[in-house]
Amino acid sequence: MEIIIQPNAETASLIAARVIARVVREKPSAVLGLATGSTPLAMYRELARLHREDGLDFSGVATFNLDEYVGLPPEHPASYHAFMQEHFFRHVNVRPENIHIPDGLAPDIPAFCRSYEEAIRAAGGIDLQVLGIGSDGHIGFNEPSSSLASRTRIKTLTAQTRSDNAANFGSAEKVPIHVITMGVGTIMDARQVLILAFGEKKAEAVAAAVEGPITAMSPASILQMHPVAKCITDEGAAAKLTRTDYYRWVYDRKPGWQKV
């Protein structure tokens, strides 16, 4: 795993956006796996700016979102459908028919999850998957103890995750208990993974994922096994890493063709 430590979340987000822009420019029909929450907001703003000012073209891109709450209609302000429209899709030219977000109202959730996996395969697989990391090490909504070989499915949220997501609902009690999420195995199938982590509250989770043992109790730790994974953090999220000097040394001395 490549560790990229930046002074703050803003500069880290600019690097993340450049990584995605390179993928899209090199493969105009790229398939992107997208994440929600506060972590990728600055990245989405920069991608929108690159589209608006530099002509970054998303017209051939297909997208698959990681997850959605069960029971929320797409128009609900706290749904991930609404989030993606507000913060990304309405600012770029991704075609509506190429946008895929789990259906929280699916009448047959297991059947929907199978069809979501089939749609990813039919699109040719995910070229780059964007991830955040939970304070307990979850990726997507794969909570600690999730199978590291899991596929898209329904999951029950922990009390910690519901508390972390309470701001969009008014209280933790109003956060849905169940979600549809891509599985860890689905995430690992992506050709490239980009994990973003900002703030001291994520420091323990980042240290466990990057330098700890690979374990289902820290689902993000499986990314150590991914052939092309980049972890981009700010100083706060990197605070508990033990080899920060080495990570900075490596990043500062990358050959020109590797830099973004």
Residues with a catalytic annotation lie at: 67, 136, 138, 143
Give, as one character, the DSSP assignment of residue 89. G
Q: In what helix (H) or strand (E) does residue 68 lie, and over which residues does it extend?
A: strand 67-69
Q: Is the dihedral of CA 36, 42, 48, 54 positive or negative?
A: negative
Using CA atoms, how far apart are residues 141 and 206, in angstroms rounded to an integer? 16
Strands 67-69 and 178-181: antiparallel
Q: What is the DSSP string of 172-239?
A: GGGS-SEEEE--HHHHHTSSEEEEEE-SGGGHHHHHHHHHS--BTTBGGGGGGG-SSEEEEEETTTTT
Burial-class residue 97 by CB neighbours within 10 Å (0-12, 13-18, 19+). Answer: exposed
**3-class secondary-structure state, position 254:** coil
168: Cβ contacts below 8 Å, ≥ 6 apart:
77, 78, 175
Strands 178-181 and 128-131: unpaired
Q: Is the dihedral of CA 244, 245, 246, 251 positive or negative?
A: positive
> Tokens 């977000």 — which residue?
101
